[in-house]
Structure 1
Amino acid sequence: MSHQPSPDSATFPVDRPTSLAAKWWLDDACIVDIDHFVKTLSGVKAKGVRPDLIGSIITHYACKWIPELAGESPPPVATDHQSPKQSATTSWLKKRFFIETIVSVLPPEKEAVPCTFVLRLLKTAHMVGVDSNYREELEKRVAWRLDQATLKELMIPSFSHVRGTLLDVELMLRLVKRFVEMDLEGLRSGAGMFKVAMLVDAYLAEVAVDLELALPEFMELAGAVPAQARASDDGLYRAIDTYLKTHVNMTKQERMMLCKLIDSQKLSTEASIHASQNERLPVRSVIQVLFSEQAKLQSHIDMSRSFNTSKSLILGMDPHDWCHHSSRDIMTLQQMEIKKLKENMTRLERQCHLMQMQIGKLSEKKKRFFSWKKLAMSTSLRGMSMEERGEDQSFDSCSIGKQTPLKGKPGRCKTPKTWRQSKS
């Protein structure tokens, strides 16, 4: 059996690279027991080793004994020279104690451990049910570096028996809110907020297919990110469209409330065209998208007109004012600008044609709706008049449709022949 060195005799190669140094040192020390590892790590910290090296030691040690933390499947169980198999409860308790011990020895510097490793620690901590204080510490560390996280690692399953969703949406909401608070307090750089907004939109698109996800939870997570953090609402529109496609029993008010989260002015041309043809969106949202695209088109046309005006002014200037430019360069620039303007005008005309078609379809649907409504009202009134005529038919002979007025005397009814004879 190899001899385990004491904490005082453990020496760490400070000059070596981080990952190689941690691997070489742990393999050389042959640290197996978690208590002995904690004592040895305390001795290394006392010697003033950098926090990132301490983090590499902890990461390598934890991944060595829990392969899930390294993103690998657990190794097959060996059969030789091994004690009898442990029960599931014993293994679960040992893993929980191991996670709590690892969290307790993490360096206070939040950048010392990779965000991916902390997310895997957090996932395992939720799975084995560690104490809430340790989970709180892990959530703080993840929220601090949420902009460096990946979507795959953020998709942590919900291990609660109370909730019915597949993913832990409440955990994601807590992480986003903490990151936003730190960003507003100036603890984080503002550039990371754009990455977090993209992560949230991608996460919403994944969780939107869950039928158990309630609308308030979806809207709360979508609104947790400030509106100015989204440079484009294409990702949010995709997530909302997926939610509408999955939850088909939503009411009109719920769909309108959900679509208010989308800023139609932040949609790209492709997303606007898709939204204008999307039957799942409310009519008001479609009209807003069409008006926004029309406003963008008008602004592009105004810009092109102003450019043409400025170009004509430049061409009308005295050649001596810009004689320092060669004629070949000026002609090349003009040709490039003319080509670019032609391409923009072609694209804008195509977009305008598509929007006109969509507006025509909407107006046609509206006309068809009102025409059917008018027809139904006229039919009901016509039925009432026929009943009234049937009631008065025996009293007024002039109401009979087959009788014709006399020639030259409009307004008078021809008297029946039998009635005329009886009078004489």
Structure 2
Amino acid sequence: MAVCCDLEVDVNGEETFLVHKKIVGSYSGRLSKLFGKSTNAKRNKVVFHDFPGGAENFELVSRFCYNEGKIDVNPSNILFLYSAAQFMEMNTSVSGTCNLLEKTKKSIEEISYWTWSDLLVALKHCQDLQPIATFSGVLEKCLDSLVGRLAITSEASPCASTSSPDSSGFRLSCDSRSTESLKNSFSRATWWFEDLSVLSPDLIGMLIELMVSRKYNHVMISRFLFHYQKSKFCTASSDEKCKVLEIVIDMLYTLDPISISCKNLFGILRVVLSLKIGKSCRNKLESMIGSQMDQATLDNLLIPSPYGSTYLYDVNLVLRFLKAFRHGGGWQLSPMRMKKVASLIDLYIAEVAPDPCLKSSKFLALLVALPDSARDSWDELYHAMDIYLEVHAGLSEEEKMKICCALNYEKLSTEACMHLSQNARFPSKSTVQALISQQLKLKNLLQGTNNTKLYTDSPLNFNDIQGKAKKDEATKQVVLYSGRLDISAENEKLRAHLQRMQWRVVELEKVCKKMQTQMAKIMKSKVSSHSAARSLPRLCS
């Protein structure tokens, strides 16, 4: 026994092996250097603290030595055997047999011929020995072959995933029926999602980078990343979840923004809010969401404020979204997108306005976050401001004026201006400004009327005249109401001017009534002449 097993090998403290020093040493340069030509029959002991693959892998190496260099190198052991061959310096051939290092390198060169299942098996082992896998080229070749298969079969489906008994490759879909459902089509396109979800975040990052460089479909990549995040979260710890999120967000950031689902981004955001991920990664997520603000909904934006805050919703987060949207060229590239975002923000402002803890500076920041060109009407914002001032009745006059300075009076409707002119919650300067704005509109209206001539022999639209009269009546009400305002002495000139405008409105109303009477006579005469024409007998031919 002492002659046959004269070497004791302690492998990483896991297990101790008794082997023949001469047999193992003839294949291992490391052991050969260690013992030299010693013929001491005394048993020697070697302790390895960092043997790659542990005791199980050392057993494989021992079998290789005892079987005279014969061993089956396959995807499940190639990386372990290669790493052991490097560690033990097994680059010496014995009796014409191929040494272990050469044998594993030859197998690595044949990775491109492996099946899909073989590639997955090898990649799982690469996760455990990533430095060696990277150095040996196994990881790079496996990923390269994997992406190549996906590119070739982007419109095909495999026999099944790795759980299928048939692991020899792929089969093209032969079902070309026109009635096939979209669900089945999607399943064929995403057959690889579940298989690759077992990989570590680091390998997924490397895989996605390679797919992007190979011009793989960005929409499919983004769908896989969202699937990967959900599948990994089932059993992951908090630290593992952070790692997964950071990789997913970093990879999504490299894709074309239009290929990423805005809804799914908000789904990731809600998860991120409960975890501590890096600031850089979070900024990337907010930037991606901001670039798609026109695809968001009000429910997406109603995100509760951070823990410890007094206000209800996270207004700062929405402001950062808007900043990202602006920097993305939202209003420069598409005015339609900008108006869509403005409509959404108007709803959001109305929703947060009743919050008694919302500071006036934050409310004002929301009002001015978008350019004035984004809105055709300011009525919704006026009503939101009215609610805010009602809830925050304790604001100083200066704070109220800062908020009111953001209001665009020219884009308020007549009804909104009338409401504002008698709204005690707004500063007096603001009510006067509303009247001045309406005065300018009325002035332009009157100038247009004075330049209009009535021709009885030209076709007139009675509905247009009625609409004009109604509009003038509404304007008249605003001017008449100004007479009941408590205007200070320095505004007496404004009072007199408004009274003159009131008189002109009355005159305009008389002109409109006269036009209506003339139009009625014209229409009546046309009807009479038409009836008379139909009563005449037809001439005989």
Q: Scaled by the length of structure 2, what TM-score is found? A: 0.52
Return the offset for 1:271.
1.8
Return the offset for 1:34.
4.7
Q: Is contact 2:303–2:314 with CA below 8 Å preserved after alignment? A: yes
Partner residue in 1 for 2:360: 215
Q: How does 1:258-273 map to 2 (within 5 A)?
A: 258-273=403-418
Q: How does 1:58-73 map to 2 (within 5 A)?
A: 58-63=225-230
Q: Distance in 1 between matches of 2:204 and 2:185?
A: 16
| CA 265–30 in structure 1, closer or farther in 2 if over 3 Å, else same | closer
The residue matched to 1:108 in structure 2 has which SS? coil
Q: Distance in 2 between matches of 1:214 and 1:225?
A: 19
Q: How does 1:287-298 map to 2 (within 5 A)?
A: 287-298=432-443
Pair 1:171 & 2:322 matched: no
Q: Distance in 2 between matches of 1:350 and 1:235?
A: 20
Partner residue in 2 for 1:370: none
Return the offset for 1:160.
4.2
Partner residue in 2 for 1:245: 390
Partner residue in 2 for 1:340: 464
Q: Is contact 1:22–1:56 with CA below 8 Å preserved after alignment? A: no
Q: How does 1:19-98 map to 2 (within 5 A)?
A: 23-26=187-190, 30-31=194-195, 32-35=197-200, 41=208, 45=212, 48-63=215-230, 91-98=237-244
Partner residue in 2 for 1:80: none
Return the offset for 1:184.
8.4
Point out the structure with max Rg over C-alpha: 2
Q: Is contact 2:330–2:338 with CA below 8 Å preserved after alignment? A: no
Q: Which moved more, 1:28-37 or 1:135-144?
A: 28-37
The one-letter code of the counterpart of 1:340 is D
The one-letter code of the counterpart of 1:239 is A
Return the offset for 1:154.
2.0
Q: 1:125 aligns with which of 272, 275, 288?
A: 272
Partner residue in 2 for 1:149: 296
The residue matched to 1:128 in structure 2 has which SS? coil
Return the offset for 1:354.
4.5
Q: Which moved more, 1:249-258 or 1:34-43?
A: 34-43
**RMSD, aligned α-carbons:** 3.4
Q: Which moved more, 1:258-267 or 1:94-103?
A: 94-103
The residue matched to 1:127 in structure 2 has which SS? coil
Gaps of 5+ in 2: 1-116, 121-142, 157-180, 490-541
User: How many residues get paired?
Assistant: 320
Q: Distance in 1 between matches of 2:451 and 2:342?
A: 36
Pair 1:136 & 2:283 matched: yes
The residue matched to 2:329 in structure 1 has which SS? helix
The residue matched to 2:259 in structure 1 has which SS? coil
Q: Distance in 2 between matches of 1:24 and 1:351?
A: 64
Task: Kindly provide the CA deviation profile for residues 186-228 of structure 1, in whole angstroms up to 9, marking residues without a partner as x.
Answer: 5x43443222333332222222222221111221232222223
| CA 129–292 in structure 1, closer or farther in 2 if over 3 Å, else same | same
The one-letter code of the counterpart of 2:482 is I
Task: Kindly provide the CA deviation profile for residues 214-252 of structure 1, in whole angstroms up to 9, marking residues without a partner as x.
Answer: 111221232222223322212321221121121121122
Q: Scaled by the length of structure 1, what TM-score is found? A: 0.65
Q: Which moved more, 1:238-247 or 1:95-104?
A: 95-104
Return the offset for 1:285.
1.0
Q: Distance in 2 between matches of 1:65 and 1:144?
A: 27
Structure number with the bigger relative contact order (C-alpha 8 A, sep ≥ 6) is 1
Q: Distance in 1 between matches of 2:347 and 2:205?
A: 39
Gaps of 5+ in 1: 67-76, 78-85, 316-329, 368-424
